[in-house]
Amino acid sequence: MKKINQVAEFGKKLMALSDMEQIIELIGQEAKELCNADRCSIFIVDKEDNMLWTRLSDGIGRIVISIDSGIVGDTYQKKQPQMVNKPYDDARFLPNIDKKSGYTTKNILTVPIFDSKREVIGVIQLLNKFRDDFNQEDLETLTFFSNYVSGSIELVLLNDKNKS
């Protein structure tokens, strides 16, 4: 029950915002809290350039990766959440980002963000669950959460596009 109430409260806060940066920041904050993770990045798909780039990258600068690389890229390609509790043993993992940032990734949970046409418009990535590995419940929570926020993200992207 606690989580449901928490999401409802979050929903009200989310709707009060209209600025993309603020929306993304609030979503990232909430995703971390829901799953007790240390960091959250939200990647937005750029189809023209075949890139995924972060609108939110907690603690480090903006990350741009090619649409098929890393665990985030695989989430986009497979349209499925990925739970990786030993990233350094996973061939898809990109250790260079850790090297650059000095951060040590211990575990990763990603979920795709779908728009209303069922296309992947982004990926939510959580890193380093506190004192534990990610589990099935985290995966389900984040899947629900991604759907919950997807309408708002789609709307903001659409309005950005209409403006330009």
Partner 1 sequence: MKYETTYSKLADFGKELLSKTSLEEGLPMIAKYAKGVIGADRCSIFINDPKKNELWTTLADGIEKIVIPSDKGIVGYTIKARKPIIANDAYSNPNFLSDIDKQTGYVTENIVTAPVFNSKRDIIGVLQLLNKEDGFDNEDVKFMIFFAHYISGFLELVNLYKADEKK
Cα(first)–Cα(last) distance of the chain, in Å? 42
Phi first, then psi: give them for residue 8, nearest 5 degrees: -65, -40
Q: d(Cα 24, Cα 121) in Å, to the nearest integer? A: 13
Q: d(Cα 7, Cα 148) in Å, to the nearest integer? A: 9
Measured from the CB atom, the residue of 69 and 143 that comes closer to partner 1 is: 143
Min dist. Cβ of residue 75 to partner 1 (A): 15
Q: Which residues bind partner 1 (CB under 8 A)?
A: 1, 4, 7-8, 11-12, 14-16, 18, 115-117, 143-144, 146-152, 154-155, 158-159, 162
Q: CB-hemisphere CA count at 13 Å for 104?
A: 2
Measured from the CB atom, the residue of 105 and 125 that comes closer to partner 1 is: 125
Measured from the CB atom, the residue of 53 and 144 that comes closer to partner 1 is: 144
Min dist. Cβ of residue 112 to partner 1 (A): 11
Min dist. Cβ of residue 8 to partner 1 (A): 6
Core vs surface per residue 122-159: b (16+ CB within 10 A) or e: bbbbbbbbeeeebeeebbebbeebbebbbebbbebbee
Measured from the CB atom, the residue of 76 and 93 that comes closer to partner 1 is: 76
Min dist. Cβ of residue 151 to partner 1 (A): 4
CB within 8 Å of 133: residues ≥ 6 apart? 85, 107
Min dist. Cβ of residue 63 to partner 1 (A): 26
Measured from the CB atom, the residue of 18 and 66 that comes closer to partner 1 is: 18
